[in-house]
Every structure is written in structure tokens, then in C-alpha cells.
């Protein structure tokens, strides 16, 4: 190799090294899981209930290797039996970093005391939030007001009736037994939380089991009311949900609404993702059936 070629090669190598050194890195990496929906039961249609455990094992191993700082699980941990929770939670316990859970509609099957379910899932309350490195993650509970969530004889029963009546009045399609909504109390909590986040210039990610927009027929019962509160604030960067296993996407005004694909679907294809947050954008890196996305902040 002559001197000119040598110095040219050295120049290119140094340039590549410099580019790699300057490549931005996410300040947060978060695991995303939806609709594990495990059951010790035979396959029904495209739902391979027993296969979810092996998929979850592979997911947990990968999230550990990817060194996520924590994970978010968007509900429907099990399909029909609260006794199946132990099988799932024993695998989630292998995560080296915390996992924050919310409930899905299937998680209430066989449950007569909601607080026992929240405690089992390690939830500090029915709905809650966590702040990490300038980002606020709000975990709504869109099962709070639902026919399956033990509301009979409580103040929540009237709110459920009002929601169902409102949907029927406009001939909506989401008045289904597997959909739920949030109470007026939770809505006020969200409003005050977003006001505080806006004042503190936090980047907000709202997570729920039921989608708040798109995924026609699967949205939360009072999704429009929730969106009207969210629309007041510019700090909300994304809405993430599960429930609709095929996944979905759309923009509500300027806010990306991402419905994650359900892990329980198909015999062998996994479904989970990693949320990477940068100073000027965020990405979802999908694994298996889960789609990948990139958005500016």
C-alpha cells in the first residue's frame, strides 16, 4: 500500500470512529409488553394461550440483555383464571429491572376483590404514575368503570350506566362487555397531573389497556372525554395501549396513538418492544409481530 492510500484509509477509519462516537444514545430504554394472556388452556383461534410462557421467557431474557431501565406491562396478564398469575409473575420476576403493571379486562375474571389483584401485580394503586429522567409515565386504569370490574352496588355503577347511555345515544360501537372506562375521579387526577407536568416541562407518555383512539370497537368507554382532557396539554408525546391484539396506529391531532400487538397471538411469533427516548425524538423498536416506529418530540 502506498503512502497516499494508507493515509486515505486511515482518514476514513478515523471518520467512522468519530461518527460512531458522536451517535446519540437514548437517555431512557423501556420494555413494552401487552396481552400476554396466559392460560393453561387449549388454543382458540389464533390465541395460543400456553405458548405465552415461552414467549415471555424469551422476552424477559432479551430485555435483560438489552439493558432496559424498566418495563411497562399493559394488561391482560392472564386470560381467565387468577391462579395463572403466579406462572406469569414468576417469569416477570426474572427481569433485572422493575416492571410496572396495569390491568386488562381479562385479569378481572374470577376476581371478587380488585385490591387483591392490584396487590398481586405490584401496583401501588388502581392507577398511578412514575417520573423518570424528565419523563412522566401515566398508567391509566381503563378497567375502573366496567361491567366485569366489580362495580355493582358502588358509586361506579352509575358512572358505567352514564357511559353506556352516552355511547348508545351517538350509536357508538365500543359499548362492549370487554371495554371499560375511567371514573370522573381518575379523570380529575389525570387533568391535575398533566397540568403539573406541563408546568415542569416533562415529556408525558400515557399508557392504558384500552386504546383511547383508533382501534374501532376496542377503545375505552369514555375515550372521547379522556381525549378532551389530554388535548388541553402539549406535554403529551404519545398514547400507548394494548387490548386490540392485531395492533393499530394513528395520530390524534399531533399525538401518536400506538396499539401494541398482543403476545398471545400466533403459535410462535413473539410480540414486544423497546421504547427508546432521546432528547428530540423517541422510537419503538418492535420484536416479532410488534411494529417499529420513530417520532419527533
Contacts of 40 by beta carbon, 8 Å cutoff, 6+ apart = 49, 50, 81, 84, 87
Per-residue pLDDT of the chain (297 residues; tens, 9 = 90+): 455 444 444 444 455 544 455 789 999 999 999 999 999 999 999 999 999 999 999 999 999 999 999 999 999 999 999 999 999 999 999 999 999 999 999 999 999 999 999 999 999 999 999 999 999 999 999 999 999 999 999 999 999 999 999 999 999 999 999 999 999 999 999 999 999 999 999 999 999 999 999 999 999 999 999 999 999 999 999 999 999 999 999 999 999 999 999 999 999 999 999 999 999 999 999 999 999 999 999
**Are the C-beta atoms of 72 and 140 separated by less than 8 Å?**
no
Cα angle for residues 113, 119, 121 (degrees, 5° grid)? 110
**Are the C-beta atoms of 40 and 92 separated by less than 8 Å?**
no
- For the chain, the residue count is 297
The reported pTM is 0.93
DSSP code for 142: T
Residue ranges of domains in the chain, CATH in brackets: 25-296 (3.60.21.10)
Handedness of CA 285, 288, 290, 292 (dihedral sign): positive
Amino acid at each position: 500500500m502506498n503512502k497516499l492510500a494508507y493515509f486515505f484509509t486511515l482518514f476514513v477509519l478515523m471518520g467512522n470512529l468519530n461518527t460512531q462516537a458522536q451517535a446519540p444514545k437514548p437517555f431512557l430504554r423501556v420494555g413494552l409488553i401487552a396481552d400476554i394472556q396466559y392460560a393453561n388452556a387449549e388454543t382458540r383461534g389464533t390465541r395460543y394461550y400456553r405458548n405465552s410462557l415461552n414467549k415471555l421467557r424469551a422476552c424477559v431474557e432479551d430485555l435483560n440483555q438489552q439493558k432496559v431501565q424498566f418495563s411497562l406491562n399493559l394488561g391482560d396478564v392472564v386470560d381467565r383464571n387468577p391462579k395463572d398469575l403466579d406462572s406469569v409473575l414468576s417469569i416477570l420476576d426474572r427481569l433485572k429491572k422493575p416492571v410496572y403493571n396495569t390491568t386488562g379486562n381479562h385479569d378481572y375474571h374470577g376476581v371478587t376483590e380488585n385490591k387483591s389483584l392490584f396487590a398481586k401485580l405490584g401496583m401501588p394503586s388502581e392507577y398511578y404514575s412514575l417520573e423518570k429522567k424528565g419523563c412522566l409515565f401515566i398508567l391509566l386504569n381503563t378497567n375502573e368503570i366496567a361491567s366485569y370490574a366489580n362495580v355493582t352496588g358502588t358509586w361506579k355503577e352509575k358512572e358505567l350506566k352514564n357511559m353506556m347511555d352516552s355511547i348508545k345515544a351517538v350509536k357508538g360501537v365500543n359499548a362492549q362487555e370487554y371495554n371499560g372506562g375511567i371514573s370522573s375521579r381518575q379523570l380529575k387526577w389525570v387533568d391535575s397531573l398533566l397540568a403539573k407536568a406541563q408546568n415542569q416541562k416533562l415529556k408525558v407518555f400515557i399508557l392504558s389497556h384500552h386504546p383511547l383512539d383508533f382501534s374501532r370497537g376496542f377503545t375505552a368507554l369514555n375515550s372521547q372525554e379522556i381525549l378532551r382532557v389530554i388535548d388541553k396539554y402539549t406535554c403529551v408525546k404519545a398514547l400507548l395501549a394494548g387490548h386490540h391484539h392485531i395492533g393499530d396506529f394513528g395520530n390524534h391531532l399531533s399525538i401518536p396513538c400506538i396499539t401494541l400487538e398482543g403476545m398471545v397471538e400466533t403459535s410462535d411469533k413473539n410480540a414486544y418492544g423497546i421504547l427508546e427516548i432521546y432528547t428530540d425524538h423517541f422510537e419503538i423498536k418492535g420484536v416479532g409481530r410488534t411494529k417499529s416506529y420513530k417520532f419527533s418530540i
